[in-house]
Chain A
Amino acid sequence: MKLLSGNEAIARGAWEAGVKVATAYPGTPSTEILENIARHYPEIYVEWAPNEKVALEVGIGASLGGARTLVVMKHVGVNVAADPLVTLAYTGVNAGLVLVSADDPGMHSSQNEQDNRFYARFAQIPLFEPADSREAKDFLRIAFEVSEAFDIPVMLRTSTRVAHSKSLVREEEPVTPLKRPYQKDFAKYVMVPANARNRHRALEDRREKLRALAEQTPVNRVDEGDRRVGIITSGISYCYVKEVFPWASVLKLGLSHPFPAGLVRTFAGRVENLFVVEELEPFLEEQVAAAGIAVRGKDLIPRTGELTPAVIARALQQDPSVAAVAREHGTAFPTEPEDQPLPLRPPVLCPGCPHRGLFYVLNKLKLNVMGDIGCYTLGGLPPLSAMDTCICMGAGVGMAHGMAKADPESAAKTVAVIGDSTFVHSGITGLIDIVYNRGVSTVIIADNRTTAMTGHQDHPGTGWTARREPTRALDFVKLARAIGVSRVSVVDPADLAATRRAISRALKAPAPAVVVASRPCVLLARPAPNPVPTDPGACKGCKLCLGLGCPALSLPDKRIEINPHLCVGCGLCTQVCRHGAIGKAGGSDA
C-alpha cells in the first residue's frame, strides 16, 4: 500500500489502465496528474496543450487512433473544452477516453466554484465521483472499460479534497487493452446534421443502457445502518458523512450520472428520513425530488463553499429527526469557534518577481487594467492595486477592446495584461480581433517564460515540452507582427523607467500595440539571497518603497530595513527610492 494523492493515484491508474496518450492544460487542482505521468510513466505520451479545447481534441484524435486516452483539466477548463465534449458524446469514441474534471469548491485557487457534474448531465456522459485516492485509481480503470463498452467519453470528477488529499492505494499491474485500429466511419464521426440526428438518438439509447449499469454497478452501494436516517451522497462528501454519522444508512453513488432512480427509490423506501449531502449544487437532490421522492438537502446544507464534517453535522442537526437519532448515537455537534481578529496573510508576489515592476508602473500610470489569470492576478491586491478585472483565461484582451469601443477616449488609459501561458491559451484570438476590427488597444504580455501559478509548467512559448525535450518556441513579437500589430516592443519589467516609457508610448499611438514585459519567473532560477545595501540614515521614512509590496522590505521605526534572507537584489526599491537610502546589490546584474 502506498500513500498517494488523488492526482498521483489517477496518474498511476492511467498507467494501469493501459493509457497511451495523456493531454492537459495545467490548472489547480488538476496539474499534478500530467506531471506525475510525465515523471513516472514513460510508456505514456504526454503533452501540455495550449488550452483545454486543444487538449480534448488531441485526445479525441488519439482515441480514434486506437489509444486509451486521458484528458485532464480543472473545472473551468471544461468550459473551454465544452464545444468538442458535447459533440464527442454524439460520435462516441474508439479506444476509451476519460476526461478528468478537477473541481475547486471553496475556490482555493479559482475564479468560480461551478459544479461540473452538470457537464456530465448536459453532455449526457457517465460521471464517476471518487471519494479518495483508492477510488480515484479504481474508478479510472472502470471508466475506461465503460467508455469502450458504451462507446462514450466518460467524466471522472474530483474536487480539491480528493485531488490534493492522500490516502492509501494498492498498486496493481497494468492491463493490456484490446487493439482498436482506426476505422473510417462517416455516419459516426462526421457530425453533419443528417448523421448527428442519428447519433443523438444513439446517445439517448446509450444513456438508458448506462442508467441500467448505474442501477446495478457495485460502485453504487449501500452502507447499511440505522434506517431512521438515510443519506445519499457522492465524492468527498461521503467521507465527511461517514465521519459524523457512522451509524447512518448511506447510499454512496460512485457512478452518479445517469441517475439510478430505481436504486434511489429502493433506498428511499427502506429509510424513514432521506437526505442528500453534496457539495455545491443540488445536483443529485433535484433528481431525487423530480422522481417524486421526499428528500431534504440544500434547505439545510450550504450551497456555497466546501463542506466539512462539522458543516454537515451542524446542517443536518437542524432536522429534528436527525437531531433525535444522533443524540441516541452520541454524536457530538461542535459549534464553530469565532475567528480571532488577526492580521491576514494574503498570498504575495515573491521577492524578485518580474511582475512587481510591471504592476508598480501600471499603478503609477493610473490605468484601467483589464486583467487575467495567473500569479500576476496578485497585482490587483494592495499596495500594487493595478488590476481592475479578472474573469477567465484570455478575457482581458477582448475586454480592453470592448471598453475602447464603448468609450474611444478610454483607450489611451486602458491596457490588457495577460501572462505568457494565458496569452497562448486564449489571448491570441482576442488580439486578432483588435487588429481585425480596427481597434487601438494596448496588450501587455507579462512574459515570465513559464506557467508559474500552477508550479512552472512549460508551454509553447518556453521552447520545452512537458518532458523537457527541446522544441521550437513561439515568438510573441513575430506572432504579434504577423497578426498585424505594427507597434510591438519588448521591455524588461525590472527596469521601471523603460517599462513606463514603453507603456506610455504604446498608449499614445491610436493603433493596436503589444508590449512584451519579459523576464523569467524568479523561482525558475531560485537565486540565493542577495540583499541590497541600505543606508538607514538617508531614509526619510517616506514609504515610497512600500508601494512595491515586497515582502523583503519594511520600515520598522520609520527606517528602511531589508530582510537579508528574502531579498534577491532585484533592485526595484533602489530605483524607487528618491533619497539614496537603498543601493544596488553586489554581484548582481539585476
Chain B
Amino acid sequence: MRDVTGILIAGVGGQGIILAGKLAAQAAILGGMDVKTSEIHGMAQRGGSVVTHVRFGPKVFAPVIDSGGADFLLAFEKLEGLRNLKFLRPGGTVILNDQVIEPLPVLLGKATYPADVVEQIGARFPLLVINALAEAEGCGDTRTANVVLLGALAHRLPFPRSVWEEALRAVVPARFLELNRRAFARGFEIAASKQPRLRQK
C-alpha cells in the first residue's frame, strides 16, 4: 500500500543492523504509526548477508518488503547494497556505507568483488554515500557506524528530531547514549548537507 513506508536495512552479520532497525521502528511508533519489522536469525547470521525490514504507516499488514516495495535502502556494505537494490521502488533512496567486506568466495579468489558499486547504484537511484566507519571513529567509536547511517536516514524520514532523541533513549543503553547521540547527529548533519540529486519523495 502506498501509504506505507518501507525501509530495508542490509549488510553483514555483526554490523549492528538489528539495532538500527529497532531505532527506526521505535521512532515510527513514537511518531504515531503502526509498525512491523522482520529479521532473520540463526545460520544466516554467521558472517552471511543480513537484512532487516521496517514498514510503517497508518496500518501495516505484511512485515516484509517485496521487490520494488522499499522507499529506502540503508546499506551497511557496498556489495549488500547492490544485492538488495531490487527491493527499492523506482525513485527510492539509497544510503550507502562506503565499506567493503569481502565475502569468502572473494577472499578465496573464486569470485570478484564488483568494482563500480557506487556508480552502478548512483546511475539508477538517488544515492547518499557515507564513510560511516570514519565518521563513527570521529564520534569516538567505530561501533557507532550503524547509528551514523541511521542518523542520515532520519533526515529523510518525516519524524521530528525530538522523536529520534526519545527513540535513542528508549533503545540505547544509558552508558552508550551520549556516544550514539553524537553519531546520530553526525549522520543527520551529513544527510542535511548532501541532498541527493534526484527529486525526493
Contact = CB atoms under 8 A, between A and B. Distances in A.
Interface of A: 1, 3, 28-29, 31-32, 108-109, 132, 160-161, 164-168, 236, 239-240, 242-243, 246, 308-310, 334, 336-337, 339-340, 342-350, 375, 377-378, 382-383, 453-455, 543, 546, 549, 551, 553-555
A410 B112 CA distance: 40
Contact of A308 (B37, B64, B83): B64
Contacts of A546: 107-109
Interface in B34-92: 34-49, 60-64, 66-69, 79-80, 82-83, 85-86
Interface in B88-122: 102-109, 111-114
A124 B171 CA distance: 43
Contact of A342 (B45, B46, B82): B82
B94 to A, nearest CB: 15
Interface of B: 1, 12-13, 25-26, 29, 34-49, 60-64, 66-69, 79-80, 82-83, 85-86, 102-109, 111-114
B106 A343 contact: yes
A543 B41 CA distance: 33
B12 A454 contact: no
A345 B29 CA distance: 33
Nearest to A7: B41
Contacts of A375: 43, 46
Nearest to A339: B86
A314 B118 CA distance: 32
A243 B3 CA distance: 12
B63 A132 contact: yes
Contact of B47 (A164, A236, A453, A551): A551
A109 B44 contact: yes
Given A28-B42, A309-B62, A343-B106, A243 B1 contact: yes
A337 B68 contact: yes
A158 to B, nearest CB: 13
> 8 nearest interchain CB pairs?
A109-B42, A28-B42, A165-B63, A343-B111, A347-B48, A347-B46, A345-B103, A310-B66
A345 B12 contact: yes
Nearest to A238: B61
A551 B46 CA distance: 11
B63 A167 contact: yes
B113 A337 contact: no
Contacts of A166: 25, 35-38, 63
Nearest to B50: A345
A345 B1 contact: no
Given A240-B61, A347-B48, A165 B102 contact: no
Contact of B86 (A246, A337, A344, A453): A337
A181 to B, nearest CB: 40
B152 to A, nearest CB: 22
A168 B60 CA distance: 10
Q: Give the most central of A167, A340, A546: most B CB within 10 Å.
A: A167
A31 B45 CA distance: 15
A350 B47 contact: yes
A167 B82 CA distance: 28
Interface of A, helix, strand, loop or mixed by DSSP: loop
A166 B40 CA distance: 12
Contact of A3 (B25, B48, B86): B25
Nearest to A338: B86
Contacts of A554: 102, 106-108
Given A108-B43, A108-B44, A340-B83, 20 more contacts: A3-B26, A3-B35, A167-B35, A236-B63, A239-B62, A240-B61, A242-B61, A309-B64, A310-B68, A337-B68, A339-B86, A342-B79, A344-B105, A345-B48, A345-B49, A345-B103, A347-B43, A347-B44, A453-B42, A455-B41
A554 B102 CA distance: 10
B61 A555 contact: no
A212 B120 CA distance: 59
B25 A164 contact: no
Contact of A343 (B41, B43, B113): B113
A334 B67 contact: yes
B48 A348 contact: yes
A337 B85 CA distance: 10
Given A165-B37, A549-B108, A336 B42 contact: no
A453 B107 contact: no
A301 to B, nearest CB: 15
B61 A349 contact: no
Nearest to B66: A310
A164 B62 contact: no
B44 A553 contact: no
Contacts of B12: 345
Contact of B107 (A31, A108, A553): A553
Contacts of B112: 343
Contact of A1 (B29, B37, B69): B29
Contacts of A382: 108
B147 to A, nearest CB: 18
B50 to A, nearest CB: 9
B35 A168 contact: yes
A29 B107 contact: no
Given A164-B40, A337-B86, A342-B83, A349 B62 contact: no
8 contacts: A165-B37, A239-B63, A347-B44, A347-B45, A347-B48, A453-B42, A453-B43, A546-B107
A344 B62 contact: no
B124 to A, nearest CB: 11
Contacts of A350: 46-47
A543 B34 CA distance: 53
Contacts of B114: 342-343
B43 A28 contact: yes
B41 A164 contact: yes
A29 B41 contact: yes
Contacts of B105: 343-344, 346
A345 B46 CA distance: 10
Given A246-B1, A344-B111, A345-B12, A378 B62 contact: no
Contacts of B109: 543, 546, 555
Contact of B36 (A29, A31, A165): A165
B38 A309 contact: no
Contacts of B64: 161, 165, 308-309
A337 B43 CA distance: 26
Given A337-B86, A343-B106, A546-B108, A3 B37 contact: yes
Contacts of B47: 345, 347-348, 350, 551
B43 A161 contact: no
